[in-house]
Amino acid sequence: MSAPLKNDRFLRALMREPVDQTPVWMMRQAGRYLPEYRSTRAQAGDFMSLCKNAELACEVTIQPLERYPLDAAILFSDILTIPDAMDCGLYFEAGEGPRFERPVRSAKDIDALPLPDMADALSYVMDAVKTIRAELNGRVPLIGFSGSPWTLATYMIEGGGSKEYRYAKGLMYSDPGALHALLEKLAIAVTDYLNAQIAAGAQAVQIFDTWGGVLTEPAYHEFSLRYMQRIVDGLTRESDGRKVPVILFTKGGGAWLEHMAETGCDALGLDWTVDLGQCRARVGDRVALQGNLDPSVLFGSDERITAEVRRLLESFGPHPGHIFNLGHGINQHVDPARPATMMSAVQQISRELHAGSN
Amino acid sequence: MSAPLKNDRFLRALMREPVDQTPVWMMRQAGRYLPEYRSTRAQAGDFMSLCKNAELACEVTIQPLERYPLDAAILFSDILTIPDAMDCGLYFEAGEGPRFERPVRSAKDIDALPLPDMADALSYVMDAVKTIRAELNGRVPLIGFSGSPWTLATYMIEGGGSKEYRYAKGLMYSDPGALHALLEKLAIAVTDYLNAQIAAGAQAVQIFDTWGGVLTEPAYHEFSLRYMQRIVDGLTRESDGRKVPVILFTKGGGAWLEHMAETGCDALGLDWTVDLGQCRARVGDRVALQGNLDPSVLFGSDERITAEVRRLLESFGPHPGHIFNLGHGINQHVDPARPATMMSAVQQISRELHAGSN
In angstroms, the separation between the Cα of residue B79 and the nearest Cα of chain A is 19
The rounded distance, in Å, linking the Cα atoms of B40 and B43 is 5
The rounded distance, in Å, linking the Cα atoms of A257 and A268 is 8
Of B217, B297, B301, the CB nearest to A275: B217
Over residues A335-352, the mean pLDDT reads 98
Over residues A290-316, the mean pLDDT reads 97
Query: What's the pLDDT score for residue A82?
Result: 97
Measured between its terminal Cα atoms, the distance across chain B in Å is 35
A33 is catalytic: no
Over residues A269-290, the mean pLDDT reads 97
Average pLDDT, chain A: 96
Would the CB atoms of B217 and A164 count as touching at under 8 Å? no
Query: What's the pLDDT score for residue A357?
Result: 63
Best of A210, A273, A303 to substitute, by most chain B Cβ atoms within 10 angstroms, is: A273
Looking at beta carbons, which residues of chain A come within 8 Å of B295? 164
Chain B residues within 8 Å of chain A (Cβ atoms): 164-166, 169-170, 172-174, 213-219, 252, 254-255, 272-275, 294-297, 299-301, 304-305, 308, 311, 331, 333
Query: What's the pLDDT score for residue B2?
Result: 74
Give pTM, 2 decimals: 0.95
Q: Could you read off the pLDDT of A128-140 as tens digits, one per residue? A: 999 999 999 999 9
Query: What's the pLDDT score for residue A328?
Result: 97
Cα A81–chain centre separation? 14
Give the residue on A whose Cα is nearest the Cα of B173.
A300
Give the residue on A whose Cα is nearest the Cα of B214.
A273
A310 is catalytic: no
Give the residue on B whose Cα is nearest the Cα of A174.
B300
Would the CB atoms of A173 and B272 count as touching at under 8 Å? no
The rounded distance, in Å, linking the Cα atoms of B90 and B98 is 7
In angstroms, the separation between the Cα of residue A256 and the nearest Cα of chain B is 10
Cα A317–chain centre separation? 24
Query: Cβ neighbours of residue A325 under 8 Å, at least 6 residues apart?
Result: A24, A25, A26, A27, A269, A290, A291, A292, A293
Sign of CA dihedral B185, B187, B192, B194: positive
Q: Could you read off the pLDDT of A214-244 as tens digits, one per residue? A: 999 999 999 999 999 999 999 999 998 999 9
The rounded distance, in Å, linking the Cα atoms of B192 and B185 is 11
Over residues A41-49, the mean pLDDT reads 92
Chain A residues within 8 Å of chain B (Cβ atoms): 164-166, 169-170, 172-174, 213-219, 252, 254-255, 272-275, 294-297, 299-301, 304-305, 308, 311, 331, 333
ipTM of this complex: 0.94
How many beta carbons lie within 10 A of that of residue B347, not counting itself?
Answer: 19
Catalytic residue among A9, A12, A16, A41: A41
Query: What's the pLDDT score for residue B183?
Result: 98
Provide, rounded to the nearest whole percent, the portion of chain B with pLDDT above 90: 94
How many beta carbons lie within 10 A of that of residue A231, not counting itself?
Answer: 27
Secondary structure of A120-179 as H, E, C letters: CCCHHHHHHHHHHHHHHCCCCCEEEEEECHHHHHHHHHHCECCCCCHHHHHHHHHCHHHH
Helices of type H across B160-247: 166-174, 176-200, 217-219, 226-234
Best of B299, B305, B314 to substitute, by most chain A Cβ atoms within 10 angstroms, is: B299
CB pairs under 8 A between A and B: 92
Active centre residues of B (catalytic): 28, 32, 41, 78, 155
Residues in chain B: 358
Looking at beta carbons, which residues of chain B come within 8 Å of A96? none
Residue B260's closest CA among B298, B217, B294, B229? B229
Looking at beta carbons, which residues of chain A come within 8 Å of B333? 166
Best of B28, B158, B273 to substitute, by most chain A Cβ atoms within 10 angstroms, is: B273
Of B164, B173, B272, the CB nearest to A297: B173
Give the residue on A whose Cα is nearest the Cα of B293.
A216
Would the CB atoms of A255 and B255 count as touching at under 8 Å? yes
Query: Cβ neighbours of residue A199 under 8 Å, at least 6 residues apart?
Result: A126, A236, A239
Largest CA distance in chain A: 61
Give the residue on A whose Cα is nearest the Cα of B167.
A299
The rounded distance, in Å, linking the Cα atoms of A310 and A350 is 8
Bridge partners for B320 per DSSP: none
Query: Quick check: A1 pLDDT over 90?
Result: no
Q: Could you read off the pLDDT of A98-111 as tens digits, one per residue? A: 999 999 999 999 99
Query: What's the pLDDT score for residue A196?
Result: 98
Domains along chain A with CATH numbers: 9-356 (3.20.20.210)
Going residue by residue through chain B, which has 358 residues, state the pLDDT in tens, using 9 for 90 and above.
578 999 999 999 999 999 999 999 999 999 999 999 999 999 999 899 999 999 999 999 999 999 999 999 999 999 999 999 999 999 988 777 899 999 999 999 999 999 999 999 999 999 999 999 999 999 999 999 999 999 999 999 999 998 889 999 999 999 999 999 999 999 999 999 999 999 999 999 999 999 999 999 999 999 999 999 999 999 999 998 999 999 999 999 999 999 999 999 999 999 999 999 999 999 999 999 999 999 999 999 999 999 999 999 999 999 999 999 999 999 999 999 999 999 999 999 999 998 876 5
Query: What's the pLDDT score for residue B355?
Result: 87
